Amino acid sequence: MSATVPHPETARVAAVEIAGLTKRFGHTEALRSLTTNIYPGRLTGLVGPDGAGKTTLMRLMAGLLTPSSGTVRVLGFDTVRNAERISELAGYMPQRFGLYEDLSVMENLDLYAQLRGLESDALKEHFDRLLTFTRLGPFTARLAGRLSGGMKQKLGLACALISSPRLLLLDEPGVGVDPVSRQDLWRMVHAQTAEGVAVVWATAYLDEAERCDTVILLNEGQAEFAGPPGELTATLTQRSLSLSHPKQDRRVVLSRALNLASICDGVIQGSSVRVVLRQGAGRDEIDGLANEVGAEIVPVAPRFEDGFIDLLGGGPGGTSALAESMAPVTLRSDLAVECRELTRRFGDFVAADHVSFQVEKGEIFGLLGPNGAGKSTTFKMLCGLLKPTAGEALVAGLNLRTATSDAKSQLGYMAQKFSLYGLLSVQQNLEFSAGVYGLTGAAKRTRIAEMIEIFHLQGYLKTSPEDLPLGYKQRLALACAVMHQPPVLFLDEPTSGVDPITRREFWTHINGMVRKGVTVLVTTHFMDEAEYCDRVALMYQAKMIALDAPDALKGKAATGGREQPSMEEAFIHLIESVDAAYAAAPPRAVA
Amino acid sequence: MNWRSPRLTAQIRKELLSVLRDPKARFVLIGPPVFQLLIFSFAATLDLTNVDIAVYNRDAGRWGYELVARLGAASFVHRLRQARSSDEIRGMIDRREVIAAIVIAESFSGEIGALRPAKVQVIFDGRRANGAQILLGYLNTIMGGLNAELSGQPGAIRESLAVRHWFNPNLIYRWFIVPSLGGILVMFVTLLVTSLSIARERELGTFDQLLVSPCTPTEIIVAKIVPALLIGTTLGLFMATAGIFGFRIPFTGSFPLLLASLLLFIVSIVGIGLMISSVCSTQQQAILGTFTVGVPAVLMSGFATPVENMPRVLQWLAQAIPLKHYLIILQGSFLKALPPSEIFAHAWPMAVIAVVTLSAATFFVRGKLQ
């Protein structure tokens, strides 16, 4: 196959040439006259918010869709006229890779090899390499359905790599994957680019974009930016600032900063607040605020995410209408959530092993860990969805095991996939949530009207949640969860797959509610979201291996030349140090 | 439990909307019942008509011709094929041209003349066992007719049996099948509606959302019963109406008692549906589960074959099938004015089944909560 393809060293020919590409679905234009090139031997990031057209572009390049107008040429072959060649040259890994869950890891590899017309005997060496690479070697006999999220993605990638494609298309491979598994994925992809393969990595995670050689930033079907990520961040020099150690509550500082006209974006990073100045805006306002709250203000290295938000015209303001509408929260107990020696076994397998911690009123508490580390199990026991084998979980001082409806009315719950009733309309979903939490009559009507206004749902009342854009789905899920003004809020990966601007808006609401005294318990894979937490518990192999403020956790990882480690580096460092401690004994199955 | 609690009302509304707003679910509720009513009532009949029969008449006498003439005149016979040898008969049966062949012996008229028992051989196609059995009955009637005539002859000793079928004097098959369908379809639709309801919520993740809410397990179960009860009752009444007015089947029993039994029947089925739902995590599994339970339930209900013919163990098991009891009440109410005492005798087992299955379902939901 490679004989027909010019080697990257000999010719700098584009692997994919996209010219005037438009794709319409009915009346909506998913892509609008897009022209760009993708080069071999490079990792190209395809970045953009949900619904920007990333998946459509991937499928067009894989020859699975035909353009409405314009052309896509992969390694010189037109995707429409030479469609059969594309499937030989391109490896495509869709968001949910088609693994056969009832087949083992090895059987999946064999099957994909056979589908590609490759003899599996001759592939032994290739398989071994893929298995070593993915670190799936010890799990070849395990059913694909029983792998963790990260392991599934790695197996999916291995299956896509079986035919040694010249163009590798990966659609959001990092979604739901913990940092450790993500590192493996990066390693595998870099090895491919080193061999001259053109790799396209579609993602909504902007920290991933930063690690790509080239980035194509898609928004509403158009390329807003194309080039090395450094080019975009360079426009932000001296515009990214950090307000460290303010004397005031950092959530208040963030809210005030975001309400300044000269600030286009801001997030919390541990005990600091990080802001981005609008283009051409002066530092007077923010310097004034820093002075007032007693914070030290220093320029920091701009991130790709800053550029992204800036390009899209800035994030939302700092005031949450949701929080404004709330009365300060009262709680029967100073401890909002408490777990004592919480243990859960599934047969021989220990999913959570003597986990103990306390969450105080008005705190944001993060539960982090790799896939399969036991954080979901712990989370489920805390909100009463799973019965602990041993130990106790208390919410607002009430034991959930003997929980009455009263205890449950104290908590709001937002599930991972925004569990909404797809057969009911948005309005009916809101009414249902209000009803099950006992709201009636005028109180119910007022509250629903408030939710519709705060979350801008007016235009969607008759729509089914399934047809909502992901960002609106998330808003509706939050609206349903906080309908009854719960003093304790459980959020299970609340922003998975949601674009950065919607995430900003989400955290503005959460920060606002926390200031009113709401307690938040959150699980997340986004390390920058962990920074919003007051304290973070890190779980690994069913045990809690660390519990501290984000800055303190980062401090622990500040060794070996890393002056200011990121949250992700801290996460990996802590897990590796546990692995090192267990080095004598072989580690348990964790991807 | 407070019946007017906003939590319960909200849930019942949600359940009803989930069924009624889904075009697929609406079709499942309306399409198959009407379709099956038509199919079963018109196509699936055990009455035998339009059959082809071969006759090999080796008798040259009067009685042989008489028998052939009677066969040819019978309403159920489409065509009477004359065969001239045993081999020809074999061929016709092999090629499925005829379902049966009648061989009249050479001595047939002679034996009758001598007042000795005369014999006729009938060869059936065993591959069509059901039809053959029914045909045998019909042929016996014809032979009986001939016998009766012969018994008028001097010296002949023949007994005659006058058959009269009570409750369904003309043995109209539809009188039996349409009311029974009313039970079977109500069972399947109710099973589907309930078994899908929890499975759907589990599949979409909304069940967790429901479990973290202050709703109690009893409320959740009650909210799942109500829509099934409404839909099942509507369907049951529609089927009864179709039977009485559409097919003109006599309804001789008590309507209020039938309605009460219908409600009890549906509640007991809801319990079974919820138990299926509790072990399924996807809607696909729930549909499979419904048919895994539903089909044997129909077979053992006495609809197709009498319960008394089954092995003892299966007869005991049949007592646990609500459909078995309901069919007795249903058929009885239509055709034989089943007295209240008999209705009660078959209603209480359904009540027991309902209590057991609903408690099990509530237990399951509670188990999920802890």
Q: Which tens digit of pLDDT belongs to each residue from A103-121?
A: 888 888 888 888 877 776 7
Looking at the predicted structure, is the pLDDT value of residue A33 above 80?
yes
Is the per-residue pLDDT at B263 higher than 90? yes
Q: By the CB < 8 Å criterion, does B17 face chain A?
A: yes
How far is Cα A117 from Cα A95, in angstroms, rounded to an integer?
Answer: 24
Per-residue b or e along A544-579, where b marks 16 or more CB atoms closer than 10 Å to that residue's CB: bbbbeebbebbeebeeeeeeebbbbbbbbbbbeebe
> Region B312-319: what's the mean pLDDT?
88
Q: How many residues does chain B have?
A: 370
Q: Using the predicted structure, report yes or no on whether residue B108 has a pLDDT greater than 90.
A: no
Residue A478: per-residue pLDDT:
92
Q: Looking at residue A237, what is its pLDDT? A: 83
Interface test mutation site (partner B, options A386, A436, A523, max chain B beta carbons within 10 A): A436
Note whether B359 contacts A: Cβ–Cβ < 8 A. no
Question: H or E stretch including B315?
Answer: helix B312-318
Which residue type does A377 have?
Answer: T
B84: buried, middle or exposed (CB in 10 Å: 19+, 13-18, 0-12)?
exposed
* Residue B135 located in a structural domain: yes
Same-domain check for residues B285 and B301: yes
pLDDT of A491: 92
pLDDT at B368 over 80: no
**CATH code, domain with B83:** 3.40.1710.10
A76 torsion bin: left (phi>0), alpha (psi -120 to 50), beta (else)? left
Q: Chain A: give the shortest CA distance to residue B22, in Å.
A: 6
B196 contact A CB<8A: no
CB contact under 8 A, A419 and B208: yes
Q: Are residues B209 and B316 in the same domain?
A: yes
* C-alpha span between B200 and B22 (Å, rounded): 12
Domain boundary, last residue among B151, B182, B210: B151
Q: How confident is the model at residue A583 (pLDDT cuts 50, 70, 90)?
A: low
> Is 60 exceeded by the pLDDT of residue A11?
no
Asked if B16 has any chain A CB less than 8 Å from its own CB, the reply is: no
**3-state DSSP assignment of residue A298:** strand
Which has the minimum average pLDDT: A80-89, B9-18, B259-268? A80-89
Instruction: Check CB contact of B211 with chain A, cutoff 8 Å.
Output: yes
Is residue A360 within 8 A of residue A334, CB to CB? The reply is yes
Shared domain check, B79 and B16: no
Which tokens hold the place of A282? 């002066």
B23 touches chain A (CB under 8 A): no
CB contact, 8 Å: B292 with chain A? no
Within-domain flag for B25: yes
Q: Does residue A562 have a pLDDT over 90?
A: no
- Residues A576, A564: Cα–Cα separation, whole Å: 18
Q: Taking a C-beta distance cutoff of 8 angstroms, is the pair B252, B333 a contact?
A: yes
- pLDDT mean across residues, chain B: 83
Please tell me the pTM assigned to this model.
0.77
Same domain for B242 and B325: yes
Give the three-state DSSP class for B188.
helix
Q: Looking at mean pLDDT, say which of A106-115, A308-317, A361-370, B256-265 comes out highest.
A: B256-265
Contact by Cβ (8 Å): A521, A491: yes
- 3-class secondary-structure state, position A544: strand
Q: Apex CA A118: angle with CA A114 and CA A119, to 5°?
A: 90
- B283 and B340 within one domain: yes
Contact residues, chain A to chain B, C-beta under 8 Å? 383-385, 387, 401, 403, 405-406, 408-409, 411, 413, 415-417, 419-425, 428, 431-432, 434-440, 444, 480, 490
Mean pLDDT of B67-88: 85
Residue B121 pLDDT greater than 50, yes or no: yes
Specify whether B35 is located in the same domain as B70.
Answer: no
- pLDDT tens for B160-172 read 455 666 666 666 6
pLDDT mean over B332-356: 89
The string of pLDDT tens digits covering residues A116-150 is 777 767 778 888 888 887 888 888 888 888 787 77
Residues B363 and B289 in one domain: yes
Cβ contacts of A383 on chain B, cutoff 8 Å:
212
Q: Of residues B323 and A329, which shows the higher confidence score?
A: B323
Cα distance between residue A209 and residue A229, in whole Å: 7
Judge if ipTM > 0.90: no
Q: What is the mean pLDDT of residues A266-283?
A: 86
Q: Average pLDDT in the A361-370 region? A: 89
Q: Confirm whether B163 is domain-assigned.
A: no
Which of A141-145, A315-319, A483-487 bottoms out in mean pLDDT, i.e. has the lowest? A315-319
Q: Does B213 touch chain A (CB under 8 A)?
A: yes
Please tell me the predicted confidence (pLDDT) of residue A357: 92
B116, part of any domain: yes
* Cβ–Cβ below 8 Å for B213 and A417: no
In the prediction, which pLDDT does A384 show? 81
CATH of domain A236-318: 3.30.70.100
Give the pLDDT score at A489: 92
pLDDT digits (tens, 9 = 90+) for A43-83: 999 988 777 888 889 999 988 889 999 999 998 888 888 88
What is the average per-residue pLDDT within A219-227? 86
pLDDT reading at A186 higher than 90: no
Whether the pLDDT of residue A10 is over 60: the answer is no
Residue B217 lies in a domain: yes
Is A2-232 a CATH 3.40.50.300 domain?
yes
- In three-state secondary structure terms, A340 is strand
CB contact under 8 A, B18 and A408: no
Q: Place B152 in a pLDDT band, splitting at 50, 70 and 90.
A: low
Q: What is the mean pLDDT of residues A232-237?
A: 85
Residue B358 maps to a domain: yes
Count of the separate structural domains present in chain B: 2
Tell if the CB–CB gap between A436 and B215 is shorter than 8 Å: yes
Q: Same domain, yes or no, for B128 and B277?
A: no
pLDDT of residue A560: 63
Nearest-by-Cβ selection for B212 from A411, A424, A444:
A411
Average pLDDT estimate for A554-567:
76
Report residue A269 as tokens.
């990073």
Half-sphere exposure of A514 (CA within 13 A, CB side): 25
DSSP of A431-500? HHHHHHTT--HHHHHHHHHHHHHHTT-GGGTTS-GGGS-HHHHHHHHHHHHHTT--SEEEEESTTTT--H
Express each pLDDT in A416-435 by its tens digit: 777 889 889 999 999 999 99
User: CA of A296, closest CA in chain B: separation in Å?
Assistant: 44
Are B246 and B143 members of one domain? no
| Token pair in block for residue B181 | 């369908």
Same-domain status, B138 and B56: yes
Instruction: Say whether residue B7 is in contact with chain A using an 8 A CB cutoff.
Output: yes
Give residue B178's pLDDT: 84
Q: Give yes or no: residues B209 and B339 share one domain.
A: yes
Q: Are residues B30 and B120 in the same domain?
A: no
Q: From the CB of residue A172, how many other CB atoms can be counted at a distance below 10 Å?
A: 23
Which amino acid type is present at position A152? K
Give first-to-last CA distance, chain A, whole Å: 33
Mean pLDDT over residues A547-557, rounded?
Answer: 86
B291 lies in which domain range?
A: 8-44+172-369
Q: Residues 125-144, chain B: which have Cβ within 8 Å of A?
A: none
Give one DSSP letter per residue of A73-142, joined into a string. Answer: EETTEETTTTHHHHHHHEEEE-SS----TTSBHHHHHHHHHHHTT--TGGGHHHHHHHHHHHT-GGGTTS
CA angle B37, B43, B49 (to 5 degrees): 145
Outline which parts of chain A fall under CATH 3.40.50.300: 2-232
Residues of A whose CB is below 8 A from B206: 419-421
Mean pLDDT of A398-421: 79
Contacts of A413 in chain B (CB under 8 A): 208-209, 212
Count Cβ–Cβ pairs < 8 Å, chain A vs chain B: 84
Residues of B in contact with A439 (CB under 8 A): 6
CB contact under 8 A, B6 and A417: no
Q: Which residue of B has its CA nearest to A407?
A: B214
In-domain check, residue B270: yes
Q: Per this entry, what is the length of chain A?
A: 591
Nearest to B6 among A421, A428, A435 (CB): A435
Q: Is the pLDDT of residue B44 over 70?
A: no
Is pLDDT above 50 for A490?
A: yes
Residue A587: the pLDDT is 47
> Is pLDDT of A526 > 80?
no
Which residues in chain B have their CB less than 8 angstroms from residue A434's CB? 10
